[in-house]
Amino acid sequence: MAVRALFIALVVVLAAAATIAVRAPAAWLGDWLASRSNLRLIDARGTIWSGSALVGVSNGRETTLVPGRLEWRVERLTTNALVGRLAHPWLTAPLDVSLGAHGIALAQGRARVPAAVLAAAGAPFNTLRPGGVLDVAWTDAALRGAALRGEVQIEWRDAQSALSTVVPLGSYRLRIAGDGNSPTLDLQTLSGPLQLRGTGKMSGSHVKFSGVASAEPAMRPALDGLLGLLGMRSGDKVMLAIDT
């Protein structure tokens, strides 16, 4: 009888554990992210296996919400990783993601994002209050700690700033690339009166970037005030520097 009672108790415990695992609320995923990053899941619905939520970015004092609900679904579990699919209005197609003990892997994809979301990244974007559109494209990529294998290309089209009456300021391309180490940054101007260029490197949340900003000669008077806010002047140029 004792053995039978122990067996029944074991079955009940395992059944309860299985039920919790299958029906674990999506909010648990939000708690996990909040403890490890500045991302927040707001109004999470469903379970950790299939659910949706609003995404927020926190700077420690306040959280900026990203428009549109993020939806996720876990496709399968392997011995090495959890494989899922994400969907969001900004993504041109659902994104396949693999989360393992050694990092995150993303399938090739594209997204179109309003540039106003850059304000959530803090300085200097929260001061510039940018406008325009970000076209983001990436190769198959793997992120392990601070190391990136792959490439992300961000094109800021028809860039605007609330601090300037010049519209548009231009279009720009930022390339983020890594071959399994800390990724490098390369910024160049595609077109427009405000000229930006520079290079840098990322190491986790630390970004070190240096570059130059200038204006086409005919537009210098109109862009003089904005240039003065971007960095230290050196002749008719401004030196750009980010070290966070």
pLDDT bin (cut points 50, 70, 90) of residue 103 is confident
Average pLDDT over residues 33-37: 76
Distance CA 119, CA 126 (A): 4
Q: pLDDT-based confidence at 7, cuts 50/70/90? A: very low
Q: Which residues pair with 52 in a beta bridge?
A: 45, 71
R_g of the chain computed on alpha carbons: 23
Range in 54-68, 138-152, 194-208, 213-227 with the lowest mean pLDDT: 54-68
Is position 137 within any domain? Answer: yes
Indicate whether 94 belongs to any domain.
no
Give a yes or no: residue 58 inside a domain: no
Residue 180 inside a domain? The answer is yes
Asked if residue 28 belongs to a domain, the reply is no
In the predicted model, is pLDDT for residue 70 greater than 60? yes
Least confident piece of the model among 19-23, 137-141, 213-217: 19-23
Please indicate, yes or no, if residue 228 is contained in any of the structural domains: yes
Rounded distance between C-alpha atoms, residue 151 and residue 156, angstroms = 16
| Mean of all residue pLDDT scores within the chain | 85
Between residues 136 and 126, the one the model is more confident about: 136
* Structural domains of the chain, count: 1
204 — pLDDT class (breaks 50, 70, 90): confident
Contact 170, 159 (CB under 8 A): yes
Q: Name the DSSP class of 92.
A: S
Please check whether residue 154 lies inside any domain of the structure: yes
Tell me if 81 is assigned to some domain. no
pLDDT at site 119: 82
Quick check: 96 pLDDT over 50? yes
- N-term to C-term CA, the chain: 66
CA dist 45 and 27 (Å) reads 7
**Domain hosting residue 160, numbered range:** 108-244
Instruction: Evaluate if residue 232 carries a pLDDT over 50.
Output: yes
> Does 14 score more than 60 pLDDT?
no
